[in-house]
Amino acid sequence: MSSALDGGVPGSRGSGVRRRQRPVLLGRDAECASLEAVLAAAGAGESGVLVLCGEAGVGKTALLDHAVGTARGFRVLRAGGVESEMELDFAALHQLCVPLADRLGELPAPQCSALETVFGRSAGAPPDRFLVGLAVLGLLSVASDEQPLLCLVDDVQRLDRASAQVLGFVARRLGAERIALLFGARLPGRELEGLPRLEVTGLHEADARALLAPVLRYALDDRTRDRIVLETRGNPLTLLELPRGLAIEQLADGLGVLTGESLSGSVEESFSARIAELSDESRMLLLVAAAEPVGDPAVLSRAAERLGVGAGDAPDELSGLLTIDHRVTFRHPLVRSAAYRGATSRDRRAAHRALAEVTDERADPVRRAWHRASAAAGPDEEVAAELERSADRARARGGLAAAAALLQRAVALTGDTARRADRALAAARISLHAGEFDMALRMVGVARTADLDELHEARAALLCGQVAFASGHGADAPPMLAAAARRLRPSDPAAARETYLEAWGAALFAGELPAAGRLLDVSRAVAELPPADPPRPSDLLLDGLATLVTAGRSAAAPLLRRATAAFVSPDGTSDGDLPWGWLTTVPGNVLWDEHSWETINARQLASARDAGALARLPIDLTATAILAAWRGDLAGADAAVAEADTVIEVTGTRIAPFGAMFLAALRGWEDQATALSDSSIDAAVRGGQGIAVQYARWTRAVLCNGLSRYDQAFAAAHQAAAEAPQLFLSAWALPELVEASAMTGNADVGADALERLADVASAAGTDWAEGVTARSRALLSAPEDAADLFDEALDRLSRTKLRPELARAHLLYGEWLRRRGRRVQARTQLRSAHEMFAAIGMEGFAERSRRELLATGESVRKRTREPAATQDLTPQERQIAMLVRDGMSNPEVGVRLFLSPRTVEWHLRKIFDKLSITSRRQLRDALPPG
């Protein structure tokens, strides 16, 4: 696709990679200094990004050109959006990367093939957007090894979405390459949110006057001139263009008509006025050029020939509007839009028809289809079908946004209402997967303008529910998904059941916030479904989860166990793309079954990674982190949390920091734990993610028990255990509640909690559940029974991998023995507890054991487990250090963390410095074991 860097200076020739003749920039010292600073840093090995923002004509492109002029020794790559309704996925990205095509082979194979697929050089599975991002980052990084790079991406507001997303990703992940990435944008979309910005505003008065003086064709008095300067607000393009298009009387009025919003409108009008004076032929030529997004002079000339407006060179009267040399370049993007929008619809269609005719169907089927569509005067099934085929092709290349746009176009050209609804729903589905939620809802709206039959209406409702869930895991989704499932029941029972699973999962996230009973509503509806015959694993899962809510744990346990067995078995479902796939680990939580939880989670995680299902990956990684934390592998949990955070940063998925909350609580880091749970509760209430509230309360109970603040632990555990849904969180809160009750003398509450916990354990029947229950029972039982119960707890928990739970059994046993005056035995238990807590890194509980030991007369030094130096590492450095210690190469770490290998190397050097080591091998000793 063409560079749309059309904002050249009068007399500039073409665009593209060549240097242009630059005007002297007036009044831009500060802006130039910022640009030069980015370039200097990039030259020295620290990549930088700057997004130049400002209204049309304010001088963004001029500043980018200036950067090109000052970037000595840099290789310059340019790309830009183009004025066209055409959405061709990755078009701008292609333009940027084409000059580097010979380096593709230096990328890891998956990245290389992702880019080849995206650019249509080879057929392959549609690559994940983030894999493409990583590949582009890698490609630029490789190229910058040889020579620093200046990448310019102008007219961001017109970039195709896929390119904008990938470039936004790349901008965020730059590090220690030698790359300066500059954007020019009227309105930087959400893809570039949060990146360093440079607001470009109008020129100061003196500079504006200096710019205006040479263009004025009439002598003006100072007052009028000052008024023009004032009303153009120093916008250079307006200053340069408006006076040309206006008559002296208008000028004398000081432009009068200008208001803020219409500034660029006025400039466009001024261009329109010039276009209106052109001969018919020139105007048509200009229109064809405007309708042709590539800027290819050969295509333009062939199309123009068909229309009888032959185009070798642009006629003189087009000078100052259009340049044709090795590319077709507009004086300014506003010329292009003036030419296109000012034309009659008949002329526009004629231009597109001619362009379609000269576009090679085999070489460029999508573009041809698009031109044909733009040439159609009304519904046209043949063209619509061609667009549909093009959409399939775009989708096969990973171009989801383009596929959606093409289908959207096909919808508009489809006369048959039923078929139109089908296509609109297909467009909606693709938009949802592309993360284009608004567009998805718009397409559902289009589908609904037809009289939808029940099945189509159900699908429409499902899409709305899925959008609601995907965009925030909030409270709106469950009733919508449940309604969709209800509608699907008669026509597609299997789809209805899977939709109920989605609804159940959404209700689990929403928790208690919206209105009590949603999980119950969904579960009751499921209970009324005819049984699935034969049941698929997903059916067992659904029935088990629903039964859990409607009839309780013991009734649900057999079903949940069967579902779990099906998912654990080697041929169990592990489709990373299934919207409800993450629910397969819930039975493991409910049944306190760490082994199936581990197996299924590992499988889900691997398949979500393989499928590039990044929107879901944070959920799987969170489950990984929580399980690792339960097992006292805090370093492993840290790594999973950090990876989830990385993915969340690039996808924008909204999910509470579940892993980090549990970790901070186990560690006894009060400030961090409190800050995390406060902000999570706040965000959860706002976003309708009720599960996070309950979760925060449970982790607070763990924290406070560790810190020996039993009143607070009691309050938090009481809330967490009371809150429906009575699934795994409320059950996890029960032992905390029993412990805090025992410590605070709340015998009744404790006894009640213990009874509930015993139910949980009998349904679960695992050593984890039974062991924790025995430990809890010991706390509340008569002295003659307690010792046996503690022994049972130690015995059972030592058969699990849950070291924190075992250590807590030692601690409670030791405390109990000490209170009975059995000091020697108490010391043995407390010493075990203390050592385990210290080794795991549970500082709060370690301190509680240390104080107990002191009370038995044994003094122990306070210990911090981590070698002091590792505390200086940032979370990202810590994560890199651990991955390298575990044997990953720099490129492998880069793939995991979305960084270029060069940036990984750079971090590693800093890590070595901080740890005072010199080799990767030494990391093993320098880091805590994990």
Ligand X SMILES: Nc1ncnc2c1ncn2[C@@H]1O[C@H](COP(=O)(O)OP(=O)(O)OP(=O)(O)O)[C@@H](O)[C@H]1O
Which residues would be at the binding site for ligand X (CB under 6 A)? 7, 9, 23, 25-28, 54, 56-62, 155, 184, 186, 203, 211, 236-237, 240, 332-334
Which residue, 333 or 399, is less far from ligand X as judged by CB?
Answer: 333
What residues have CB less than 8 Å from 876, skipping those under 6 apart?
Answer: 642, 897, 907
Query: Quick one: which H or E segment has residue 818?
Result: helix 803-819
Write down the least CB distance from residue 264 to Mg ion, Å: 11
Query: Quick one: which H or E segment has residue 323?
Result: strand 322-324
Q: Which does 9 bind (CB under 5 to 8 A by kind): ligand X, Mg ion, none?
A: ligand X
Which residue, 263 or 764, is less far from ligand X as judged by CB?
Answer: 263
Which residue, 299 or 328, is less far from Mg ion as judged by CB?
Answer: 328
Cα 200 to Cα 210, 229, 553, 674: the distances in Å are 18, 17, 62, 41
Distance of CA 469 to the CA centre of its chain: 15
Read off the tokens for 323. Answer: 């340049």
Can residue 15 be called a binding residue for Mg ion (CB under 5 A)?
A: no
Q: Which does 757 bind (CB under 5 to 8 A by kind): ligand X, Mg ion, none?
A: none
Q: Which of 691, 675, 637, 639 is nearest to 659 (CA)?
A: 637
Where helices occur in 183-279 by DSSP H, the ranges are: 205-212, 222-231, 236-245, 248-252, 262-276
With tokens 């029974």, the residue in question is 785
Write down the least CB distance from residue 238 to ligand X, Å: 9
Q: Which does 603 bind (CB under 5 to 8 A by kind): ligand X, Mg ion, none?
A: none
Computed from CA positions of residues 853, 854, 860, 866, in that sequence, does the dihedral angle turn out positive or negative?
Answer: positive
Cα gap 36→34, rounded to integer Å: 5
Q: Are 170 and 51 in contact (CB under 8 A)?
A: no
Contact residue for Mg ion among 61, 329, 573, 622 (CB under 5 A): 61
Read off the tokens for 267. Answer: 């400039």
Write down the least CB distance from residue 438 to ligand X, Å: 24
Q: Which does 236 bind (CB under 5 to 8 A by kind): Mg ion, ligand X, none?
A: ligand X
Which residue, 27 or 479, is less far from ligand X as judged by CB?
Answer: 27
Which residue, 175 or 342, is less far from ligand X as judged by CB?
Answer: 342
Read off the tokens for 474. Answer: 């909030």
Per CB under 5 A, contacts with Mg ion among 425-454 are none
Window of 55-63, 100-108, 504-512, 679-687 that interacts with Mg ion by CB under 5 A? 55-63
Q: For 81-200, list the strands marked E by DSSP.
A: 149-154, 179-185, 197-199
Write down the least CB distance from residue 35 to Mg ion, Å: 15
Q: Which does 467 bind (CB under 5 to 8 A by kind): Mg ion, ligand X, none?
A: none
Which residue, 154 or 380, is less far from ligand X as judged by CB?
Answer: 154
How many other CB atoms sit within 10 Å of the CB of residue 98?
A: 11
Cα gap 623→573, rounded to integer Å: 18
Q: What would the x/- binding string for Mg ion be over residues 735 to 774, using CB under 5 A?
A: ----------------------------------------
Q: Which does 229 bind (CB under 5 to 8 A by kind): Mg ion, ligand X, none?
A: none
Q: Which does 447 bind (CB under 5 to 8 A by kind): ligand X, Mg ion, none?
A: none
Q: Are 127 and 117 in contact (CB under 8 A)?
A: yes
Q: Which does 136 bind (CB under 5 to 8 A by kind): Mg ion, ligand X, none?
A: none
Which residue, 333 or 841, is less far from Mg ion as judged by CB?
Answer: 333
Write down the least CB distance from residue 334 to ligand X, Å: 6
Give DSSP secondary structure letters for 128-160. Answer: PHHHHHHHHHHHHHHHHHHS-EEEEEE-GGGS-
Which residue, 160 or 736, is less far from Mg ion as judged by CB?
Answer: 160
Which residue, 242 or 432, is less far from ligand X as judged by CB?
Answer: 242
Q: How many amino acids of this chain bind Mg ion (CB under 5 A)?
A: 2
Read off the tokens for 629. Answer: 């934390």
Q: Which does 126 bind (CB under 5 to 8 A by kind): Mg ion, ligand X, none?
A: none
Q: Which does 237 bind (CB under 5 to 8 A by kind): ligand X, Mg ion, none?
A: ligand X
What residues have CB less than 8 Å from 763, skipping those under 6 apart?
Answer: 553, 554, 556, 557, 591
Write down the least CB distance from residue 38 to ligand X, Å: 18
Cα gap 907→913, rounded to integer Å: 10
Window of 3-11, 831-839, 877-885, 906-914 that interacts with Mg ion by CB under 5 A? 3-11
Write down the least CB distance from residue 157 to Mg ion, Å: 10
What SS3 class is residue 188?
Answer: coil
Cα 13 to Cα 5, 18, 19, 267, 723: the distances in Å are 12, 10, 10, 22, 70
Q: Which does 668 bind (CB under 5 to 8 A by kind): ligand X, Mg ion, none?
A: none
Write down the least CB distance from residue 420 to Mg ion, Å: 38
Backbone dihedral angles phi then psi of residue 856, each to the nearest 5 degrees: -85, 0
What SS3 class is residue 183?
Answer: strand
Q: Are 188 and 81 in contact (CB under 8 A)?
A: no
Which residue, 6 or 852, is less far from ligand X as judged by CB?
Answer: 6
Contact residue for Mg ion among 7, 126, 690, 894 (CB under 5 A): 7
Which residue, 7 or 465, is less far from Mg ion as judged by CB?
Answer: 7
Chain contacts with Mg ion (rule: CB under 5 A): 7, 61
